Amino acid sequence: MINDSKQRYGSVSKFLHWGMALLVIWQLLKFGDRITEGEHWVGQTLVPFHISIGSLILVLIVVRLFWAASQRGQRPEQDPAMATLVKAGHGLLYLGLFLMPVTGMLFMVGNGYGVSAFGVDIFAKGDEIAWAATLGQLHSPLAWALTALIVGHIGMALIHHFVKRDDTLKRML
């Protein structure tokens, strides 16, 4: 089933969720640059794709927002006692996935490096732009906040599955 239903997420939502989860975790490996300045296997093989994958995430989050809007009213329902909190949590995850690539690009453009993804120039190298560089400094604090949110999100998914023993995780699998 392509579309979502009240009982479970459909194939498009699942593909976007798990595909992007993988890409986001890949992106978080960039924290590894803090260990011996990235001079290790992860830093040399996976992290060099940071800008390309980050740019792909920006495209995917826009697709995902349109998809989520098209599925409104036919997605699995939340426990009414927790619904507002769950919606806020998922909303913040969406916001994080949007702001991460945007601030990453502001960092690069602001410092005059330009942005190219998968070998295609998106923004050319040029002069430094002070306001963009300043906003780009939010990239790292936002990465920490997103990481905390993701840890909480995964923790809740596991609590639903192993402690509450409900079908919250199953409907996304």
Which residues contribute to the site for ligand HEM (CB under 6 A)? 13, 17, 21, 24-25, 27-28, 30-31, 33-34, 50-51, 54-55, 57, 68, 76, 78, 86, 90, 93-94, 97, 100-101, 104-105, 107-108, 115, 139-140, 143, 150, 153-154, 157-158, 168-169, 172
CB of 27 to ligand HEM, least distance (A): 4
| Least Å from the CB of residue 164 to ligand HEM | 12
In angstroms, what is the minimal distance from the CB of 1 to ligand HEM?
15
Nearer to ligand HEM, 127 or 158 (CB): 158
Q: For the chain, what is the HEC assignment? A: CCCCCCCCCCHHHHHHHHHHHHHHHHHHHHHHHHCHHHCCHHHHHCHHHHHHHHHHHHHHHHHHHHHHHHCCCCCCCCCCCCHHHHHHHHHHHHHHHHHHHHHHHHHHHHCCCCEEECCEEEECCCCCCHHHHHHHCCHHHHHHHHHHHHHHHHHHHHHHHHHHCCCCCHHHC
Closer Cβ to ligand HEM, 41 or 107, answer by number: 107
